[in-house]
Amino acid sequence: MKPDHDFPLPALDQAAQDRLSRLSKTASTLGREIVDIAGFLDRLECESQAQLKALGAVKDGSARVATANTAVLSTVDMVAQSAHDTLQRVSESTEYVSQTSTLAIDLAQWVQQINDHSAEVREMLEEVKSSNEQIATIAAQVNMLAINAKIEAARAGDAGKGFAVVADAINELSQSTSKAANDITGTVGNLSNWVQRLSEGASQSALKADTLLERGGETDRALTTIKDQVAASQTQTEVIREEAGRADEAVQSFTPSIASIDASFRSSAEGVKTAHTRVEKLIDRSERMVQDSVAMGGSSEDGPMILHVQDIAGQISQALANAVESRRISLSDLFDENYRPIEGSDPVQYSTRFLRLTDQLLPTLQEPATQIDSRVVFCAAVDRNGYLPTHNKKFSQPPSTDPEWNMANCRNRRIFDDRVGLKAGRNTQPFLLQVYRRDMGGGNFVMMKDLSAPITINGRHWGGLRLAYKF
């Protein structure tokens, strides 16, 4: 079928055609070199962005380290002050406990002395008790003598009256002495019982005093150890404070350097981005040079491919127009841009209202194009947004659970909105020849040409037919 768009071939002399052919070839070669440079700049830009991101993380991290180190330094200062205060309080407490321990030892020794002397006190009380008993015996004997004397005085009559008075006095004295002896005996008994209880308590206290005396030395040694450990802790804290101070100075010193490096990297990244943008414009100009030179009559090794892609694009345009005319599909459905993700697809595939029709019509028109030249990789139509509904059979395999495999083998129903894909879908010139690098994985790239011609339905631009082949 005759294509909708033929590029003109004006009559030129052989010399002019030769010059245009050389220009076309030179422009094509230039385009390849520029695309290669663009690929390098693209990779460099990606690496620059990754480095900027990493440097930003370092910058943020250094800021956090500086903040954290400042907080640590402040905390260490507080710890050092606390350790100093603690050492002072421990020293005071040690001195106080030491004094208390001395008093406790004195008290314990006094208790032991009481316990030691309590036996002597009991012996003295027993002697007092024994002596008091002798006094009571003597008083009883005197009382008996007084009674006898009084009887004898009564017998003597008047002559014995004076002796009777003496006998009464002696009797009263003996009774008073007996009563006093009995009182002393009771008092001594009570005192003896109290001393007994005191002795028993002193004996128990003496045992505890022995333990206190034994542990007093251990307490002093423990307090001394605590004091030494607190002093060592304070010394270590001072060392940590000095190290933290030096670390803070180091962090504060390299933070401006990181900021300077960050600014330099950002400037370089911006330069790479600008260069990349300018190179992409050069790509557009080199493509325009190829198209203009061919349109002006220069022969090109891509000439046969241009004719093929225009012819197939014309056939597709006619087939889609016939489908609208026969009401197999409405014009609005054919231009549907409501791309609905297909559930479970990875990478994501999409469905549209015209997908069923393109699956029916396009394979018979696109598939033969893959056989016209051994360099051809694929031939497929895309709409204005880079959506590729129906691909060649080898790129339209049923999806698997492996996204990497799907990426290479399930390329139908995908949106390719990269620079090349969008330009191919939106180009309205008779043809568009683009050069690009195809990512083969593992950091390997193959230089490709993407030749496209527009697809129109009843004068309305639908998209373009892409024919990709190797250099």
Give kind and range of the element (H or E) at residue 131: helix 14-156
Separation between Cα atoms, residue 471 and residue 463, nearest integer Å? 25
108 vs 189, residue with greater confidence: 189
* Structural domains for the chain: 68-256 (1.10.287.950), 302-470 (3.30.450.20)
Separation between Cα atoms, residue 328 and residue 322, nearest integer Å? 9
With the CA atoms of 313, 316, 321 and 326 taken in that order, what torsion angle do they form, in degrees rounded to the nearest 10?
Answer: 170
Question: What does the pLDDT average to over 447-463?
Answer: 94
pLDDT tens, 73-86? 677 777 777 777 77
Q: How confident is the model at residue 7, as a pLDDT?
A: 45
Identify the sign of the CA torsion 384, 386, 390, 394.
positive
User: Three-class SS of residue 466?
Assistant: strand
Closest CA to 280 of 386, 382, 418: 418
Question: What does the pLDDT average to over 253-266?
Answer: 69
Q: How confident is the model at residue 410, as a pLDDT?
A: 96
Closest CA to 184 of 131, 233, 105: 131
Using alpha carbons only, give the angle 414, 353, 365 rounded to the nearest 5 degrees: 65
Which amino acid is residue 356, in one-letter code? R
Please name every residue paired with 469 in a beta bridge, in sequence order, or none if there are none. Answer: 376, 449
Separation between Cα atoms, residue 83 and residue 76, nearest integer Å? 10
Please name every residue paired with 351 in a beta bridge, in sequence order, or none if there are none. Answer: 340
Closest CA to 300 of 9, 46, 54: 9
- Is it the case that residue 434 has pLDDT exceeding 80? yes
Please name every residue paired with 349 in a beta bridge, in sequence order, or none if there are none. Answer: none
- Is it the case that residue 411 has pLDDT exceeding 50? yes
Separation between Cα atoms, residue 251 and residue 253, nearest integer Å? 5
Task: Give the percent of the chain with pLDDT over 90.
Answer: 31
pLDDT tens, 191-219? 677 767 766 766 666 666 667 666 666 76
Separation between Cα atoms, residue 21 and residue 414, nearest integer Å? 37
Hey, which bits of 270-319 come out as E strands?
A: none
Q: How confident is the model at residue 228, as a pLDDT?
A: 80
Question: What does the pLDDT average to over 415-440?
Answer: 89
Q: How confident is the model at residue 186, as a pLDDT?
A: 74
Give kind and range of the element (H or E) at residue 198: helix 161-295
- Is it the case that residue 346 has pLDDT exceeding 80? yes
pLDDT tens, 38-53? 556 666 667 777 777 7
The Cβ of residue 351 has, within 10 Å, a number of other Cβ atoms equal to: 17
353 vs 245, residue with greater confidence: 353
Give kind and range of the element (H or E) at residue 447: strand 444-457
Which range has the top average pLDDT, 76-80, 124-128, 325-329?
A: 325-329
> Which segment of 63-67, 198-202, 369-373 scores lowest on mean pLDDT?
198-202
